[in-house]
Amino acid sequence: MKSALEHRQATFLRGHRAEWIALLVLVAKGYRPLARRYAAASGEIDLIVMRGDTIAFVEVKARGLMDDALSAITARKRQRFSRAVRAWLSRNAWAAGKTWRADAVFLAPRRWPRHIVSAFDLEMR
């Protein structure tokens, strides 16, 4: 049986691996990475990527089952994510004229990664 520390380490590594896989998928689709693991304002953005005039703030979720990954973005997560987006935008004035959206990449074992464009609305108030 794993200790709590071993479990946290395994979860951390799985998350890191999932983010790299998600980034590879997005780069293959023509996105250019701007940031990884951006943390601010009590929230975190896993990936920030850009294609054309669109900046996508990406939440990556890896779970044992795809359905679990799809349901993992809760209302609280969306609020914290949106706070981090607002913080990033306040520090990157050049992005003001771009289109912003919240995407998600879901991963599960033995399944292709699933990129959802505009997976949820950003709370920009």
Average pLDDT, rounded, for the chain: 91
Pairing of strands 99-107, 54-62: parallel
Query: Within a domain: residue 79?
Result: yes
- Whether residue 104 has pLDDT greater than 70: yes
Domain count, the chain: 1
Q: Give the CATH number for residue 91.
A: 3.40.1350.10
Query: How is 28-84 classified by DSSP, letter by letter?
Result: HTT-EEEEEEEEETTEEEEEEEEETTEEEEEEEEE-SSHHHHHT---HHHHHHHHHH
Residue 96 covered by a domain: yes
Give residue 105's pLDDT: 95
Owning domain of residue 59:
4-120
**53 within domain boundaries:** yes
Q: What is the pLDDT of residues 42-87, one digit of tens each?
A: 899 999 999 999 999 999 998 876 677 667 788 899 999 999 999 9
